[in-house]
Every structure is written in C-alpha cells, then in structure tokens.
Amino acid sequence: MYFVDRSIAVIKPKQPFLDWLNQMPGNDVTLSLADIRSDCTVLMIPEVNEQEDGIAYIDDIADKVFEMELASWYQDEKLWPKSRTLKLFWEWFDVEIHTVVMDTIDQDIHNSPVDHGLH
C-alpha cells in the first residue's frame, strides 16, 4: 500500500437535489435520498490535514462541482437551476472530507478529463 499525496471529498446530494431530480420532465422513476446517496462522487483534492481546509477547497471549486453533479443526471443546461450560488451548493450537497488516501494497487493512476465540470 502507498500513501497518496491527496485527500478526498465525497459529494452527497441532499433533499433539495432529490426534489429537483424528481420534478424533471420525462422522469418516470421516483428516486429516494438513499438511492442517490448510495454511490456518490468522490473527488481527489489537494492533501489537507484539517477538514476545514478541504471544505475551503470545495468552496473554491463549488461551481464546477455543482455543474458536474447536475450534468451527471441531465446534460441539458436549460433544466439546471439558473442561480447556482455557493449557498445553494451547500443547501443541495453534503461534503465529507477524508484526509488520508491509500492506494492498494501497485500501478500508475491514469487520468482522463471529464466532459463537463472539473478540468
């Protein structure tokens, strides 16, 4: 096992995000909060020693994370909330910061850019 010089942030949707999803046009499946919180986005962030430092980093990239989360469900930006403020981000998402990341694989990590959001 190897220490990785990163920390992680787990992005967990909250009830307002679920409410938005469930009222989308053409959505014929009603999701539960447990459904959308069971397999959440995990972001590698710069290595931090304190939770607060990880939260501050997420504050800095919240607009990109918000867009990435919305795009993972609906690509049509016209369906997204018009005003995506930092306050709205924190109303729609919980974020767990984990300061220690270990790699159990003895192989290089390969990166590929995402289509929307974080670049």
Pick 110 or 14 by higher pLDDT.
14
pLDDT of residue 88: 97
Residues 50-61: pLDDT tens digits? 999 999 999 999
Is there a domain that residue 22 lies in? yes
Residue 54 structural domain? 2-103
Average pLDDT over residues 31-38: 93
Mean pLDDT of the chain: 91
> Are the beta carbons of 72 and 41 closer than 8 angstroms?
yes
Judged against a pLDDT cut of 80, whether residue 78 lies above it is answered with yes
Is there a domain that residue 10 lies in? yes
Is there a domain that residue 109 lies in? no
Residue 20, classed as helix, strand or coil, is helix
Is there a domain that residue 118 lies in? no
Is there a domain that residue 115 lies in? no
The torsion defined by the Cα of 50, 72, 39 and 94, in degrees rounded to 10, comes to: 40
CA distance 87 to 5: 29
Q: How many domains does the chain have?
A: 1
Judged against a pLDDT cut of 50, whether residue 119 lies above it is answered with no
CA distance 63 to 80: 12
